[in-house]
Amino acid sequence: MKKAFVTGGAGHVGGNLVRQLLSDGWDVRCLIHKDTRALDGLSVVRVQGSITNADILSDQMSGCDVVFHAAAHIALESVDIPIMEKINIGGTESMCHAALKAEVPRFIHFSSIHAFQQQPTSDPLDENRPLVVDQKAAPYDRSKAAAQKKVLKACERGLNASILHPTGIIGPNDFKPSRMGQVVSNIVQRKMLFTINSGFNWVDVRDVCQTAINCVHSGMKGQHYIVPGEWASFRDISDIITDMVGYRTAFYAFPFWTAYSALPFDFMKSKLTGKRPSFSRGSLRALAVQCKDIPGTLARQALGHTSRPLTDTIKDTVRWVMDKGICKR
């Protein structure tokens, strides 16, 4: 039986990856942190430990055929820079050291489309695009680019690693939830009656995970693979949900610039409710400066990446949040 070591197994990507691996007959070992709802009922070995402790990680990886490194701290606010540097950069470096020490045959690193420079936005974004270097770029983008450099350095020392760059991930089994998971829930519950005139390239989390598994045998050492889906606006997503639930969910898409004027109010709301802001200056920048043309040709040809229609993804996500009682009509 093939053995996999997964970090971030309790997260959105990791939880879906674990499910797919188990379905394919893998023996799975997960490094866990706090919230492990995504793993409830799954036959996995749970490993308590720090992602920054290479010695412990190496012991736990021993005998595994592949490491899937999906753990990351995703944030768009400057206040999260220290934790992103610790987890995204330091944690990735520790994972690489541990995998080399344990002589793991294969290492799949989950990066992000945000690790690449987005400008010029008019050109197609492919694997030849330089990594982010601008210190004015979003902290998360910088951290993922820096983490990727750690992986490439480890490749020079013998690590057989490939790097995946998903676009905006969306889909079911989103327990925590992610920002987009929260957006979908809010739209269903009519807590988000207005959207902004913007969007992103969205890819189904299950398609990302299948491509990651394909990458184990088909991916090349030191190679980046962009893993896209399709571009859609927030209004498009709202319309898909409206067609599914049978009532109007969002009534108007405001011009994009109006979101900046709403930042102070959303910040105050987060302080009063104790919940993270719905959006930030960083998240708005990610929407404002983006490439819409992301073909993903290399991943499609080399890894067999396919992306299902976004309509199917949204409907599956809505069914999941309703089945779990996360939101009701």
Query: What is the C-alpha separation between 286 and 258, in angstroms, rounded?
Result: 16
CA distance 234 to 259: 13
Structure tokens at 89: 């950069």
pLDDT at 128: 96
Average pLDDT, integer, range 236-255:
86
pLDDT band at 48 (very low <50, low <70, confident <90, very high): confident
Lowest mean pLDDT among 34-48, 97-111, 201-215, 217-231: 34-48
With cut-offs at 50, 70 and 90, classify the pLDDT of residue 162.
Answer: very high
Tell which residue, 51, 48, 45, 49, has the closest CA to residue 70: 51
User: pLDDT band for position 278 (50/70/90)?
Assistant: low
In this prediction, residue 119 carries a pLDDT of: 86
Q: Does domain 3-173+201-230+292-308 have CATH number 3.30.70.580?
A: no
Of 45, 35, 28, 29, nearest in space to 10 by CA: 35
Q: Is the pLDDT higher at 54 or at 146?
A: 146
Contact 144, 72 (CB under 8 A): yes
Q: Which is more confidently placed, 248 or 41? A: 41
Omega within 30 of 0 (cis) for the link into 130: no
Q: Who has greater pLDDT, 298 or 268?
A: 298
Distance from C-alpha of 129 to C-alpha of 132, rounded to nearest angstrom: 9
Confidence of residue 304 (pLDDT cuts 50, 70, 90): very high
Is residue 280 over pLDDT 90? no
Domain coordinates in residue numbering, the chain: 3-173+201-230+292-308
How many distinct helices (H) and strands (E) make up the chain? 13, 12
Specify the pairing of strand 230-233 against strand 199-204.
antiparallel
Is pLDDT above 80 for 320? yes
The whole-angstrom separation of Cα 301 and Cα 315 is 28
Closest residue by Cα to residue 308 from 204, 164, 180, 184: 204
Identify the three-state secondary structure at position 107. Answer: strand
Give the C-alpha separation, 143 to 77, whole Å: 12
Amino acid identity, position 134:
D
If residue 169 lies in a helix (H) or strand (E), which one and from where to where? strand 168-170
From 96-100, 186-190, 244-248, 280-284, the region with the lowest mean pLDDT: 280-284
Inform me whether the pLDDT recorded for 148 exceeds 80.
Answer: yes
Q: In this predicted model, which residue has the larger pLDDT, 289 or 200?
A: 200
Q: What is the pLDDT of residue 191?
A: 82
